[in-house]
Amino acid sequence: MNKTLSFLAVVLLALAGTAAQAQTEPPAEIQALLQKHICLTCHKVDQRLIGPAYKDVAKKKYTNEKIVELIYKPVPANWPGYPAMAPMTAVPKEDALKIAGWINSLGGGAKAKATKKKA
């Protein structure tokens, strides 16, 4: 009986670790875009780096379109205590929308057609 309980505990801990890892690692397609557009130089999924964590961006509940707008024309006042982000105008809109959709998936962010939150 004790062996069975120990085994179940190990399995549950392993599953919990896998779920936590899944939440902190972007899907392969998004990871490739983040690397291609050098986003990971300043941002991580769940911790502050030079810029805010993607999960913190998701908490702002911006629409996908607003995130794209902020990628192209950052508003430093939105993130006091962080250095100003350089405008990332070379990121194609299609890629920026995919990244924005993923960011919003991290924290129950706004949907693509939701009412825009003021900056």
d(CA 12, CA 14): 5
Domain extent listing, the chain:
27-105
- pTM for this prediction: 0.73
Residue type, 15: L
Q: How far apart are CA 56 and CA 88, in angstroms?
A: 19
Quick: pLDDT tens for 18-45. Answer: 444 445 799 999 999 999 999 999 999 9
| pLDDT above 90 as % of the chain | 69
Any idea which residue has 């959709």 for tokens?
101
Cα–Cα distance measured from residue 6 to residue 13, given in angstroms and rounded to the nearest whole number? 11
What does the pLDDT average to over 68-88? 97
Q: Which residue has the higher pLDDT, 115 or 91?
A: 91
Q: Supply the pLDDT for residue 7.
A: 45
Quick check: 35 and 43 in contact, CB under 8 A? no
pLDDT (0 to 100) of residue 6? 45
| Topology given in CATH for the domain delimited by 27-105 | Cytochrome Bc1 Complex; Chain D, domain 2 (1.10.760)
Rounded mean pLDDT of 75-81?
Answer: 96
Of 25, 117, 108, the closest CA to residue 65 belongs to 117
The owner of tokens 């939150």 is 117
Would you say 94 and 65 are in contact if contact means Cβ atoms under 8 Å apart? no
**For position 114, what pLDDT does the model report?**
43
